[in-house]
Amino acid sequence: MAIAILFREELKEYDFGPGHSFRGDRYPIFHNFLREYVPEDDNYRIIEADWASDEDLLLICERDYITFTKEYYKAANLGLDYPGPFYRFHSGDNAIVGKPGKLEEAARLVVGQAKAACDLVQEGRFAKAVCIGGGLHHAKPSYGEGFCLYNDVAFSARYLAQKYKLQRILILDTDAHAGNGTSEYFYSEAGVLLIDIHQDPSFLYPGTGFAGQIGSGDGKGFNINVPMPIHAGYDSYKLVFEELVQPIANEFRPQIIIRNGGSDPHFSDGLTNLGLPVEGFRMIGEKVREIAEICQGKAIDLIASGYNRDVLPYAWLALISGFAGWRTPVYEPQEIPQRFSQDSSFAETKMVIEEVKRHLTDYWRCLR
């Protein structure tokens, strides 16, 4: 069965400017790559969504944050200065370099795509939907950081709970960086289970996402962090799914799955220190597809990150291929260095898994 892929050319405007790590050309590059390697046919349908309105954004953001973000980035795109307290609303990560694209408009499009994806899946038009450009998991209700303006991951969960009355939503974050923004939204809520697999935050932005950060109040035990050791590779990720993700998901019984994350766990990513090969991204997609059988196959995938332009399209395609069940061959675009030929962090990953279990045994029977 074909999946929905949300994409439109205007995503390229999500661009912080020349010299910045996050450029908008990743989106048309991947779209062209996808069309070259996988025919649309019965594999997927490209769907264009509308931009999110202020009303949509108010589901996850404070009004003054929306207003400042809109006016600041509009002025920046026009080459103008906008007076206002930038650092009250955004970190230095979100400062523009040179002439940026129409960033705020593109951020609205990302949220609009997430909204459309939720509707497509919940209304039964597609079992699965992929949002190219999604997964902006560092943004908070009134503060943008980590190249993220509006958190479409949080929006998806809030929208599904509000419009469709879903009570058990699983967010699986496989980005190399911990989803601190998403975590903040749901830290005290039991209806949204966040499982976040990321590089050990002792050595990477945003410096949160330790195993002991398990939620608070009603949400205690529903905020699960798996801080992966440096250079963790295929075997490590596979074990995390087998020992933690799959059994917890089976016990939670989600009504839908939202996965976010791009190619930055790859061993050659420019900003991270993990060890996943391209084949590992297919495995992640396959695991999500398997787990989604719990909820009649309902799953939404949000993909944006990755900082090695040569690897990004291959890893994204591998993720989607596993997620959709395509038999598309997966290629490693560069030779795997000797130090990554085996998963040297596997033993350490086992210890991380045991630590995570120790923090969660009071909340999940499957981990006792």
Instruction: Locate all alpha helices (DSSP H) within the chain, ordered by sequence.
Output: 26-37, 54-57, 63-77, 86-89, 103-122, 152-164, 180-186, 234-240, 246-252, 278-291, 312-324, 346-360
Number of domains forming the structure of the chain? 1
- For the CA atoms of 314, 3, 134, 26, the dihedral, rounded to the nearest 10 degrees, stands at 40
Range of the domain at 279: 3-367
Q: Kindly report the CA angle at 277 between 240 and 307, in degrees rounded to 5?
A: 105
Query: What's the rounded Cα separation, in Å, for the pair 323 and 150?
Result: 25
Quote the pLDDT of residue 83.
87
Exposure string of 123-156, with b = 16+ CB inside 10 Å and e = fewer, is eeebbbbbbbbbbbbbbbeebbbbbbbbbbbbbb
Query: What's the rounded Cα separation, in Å, for the pair 142 and 270?
Result: 29
Please write the tens of the pLDDT for every residue from 94-134: 999 889 999 999 999 999 999 999 999 999 999 999 999 99
CA distances from 81 to 20, 145, 158 (A): 19, 20, 34
215: left (phi over 0), alpha (psi -120 to 50) or beta: left
Separation of CA 127 from chain center: 19
Please write the tens of the pLDDT for every residue from 251-310: 999 999 999 999 999 999 999 999 999 999 999 999 999 999 999 999 999 999 999 999
Check pLDDT > 90 for residue 9: yes
Exposure string of 157-170, with b = 16+ CB inside 10 Å and e = fewer, is bbbbbeebebebbb
Query: What's the rounded Cα separation, in Å, for the pair 89 and 141?
Result: 10
Q: How confident is the model at residue 164 (pLDDT cuts 50, 70, 90)?
A: very high
CATH code of the domain in which 332 resides:
3.40.800.20
Q: How confident is the model at residue 316 (pLDDT cuts 50, 70, 90)?
A: very high
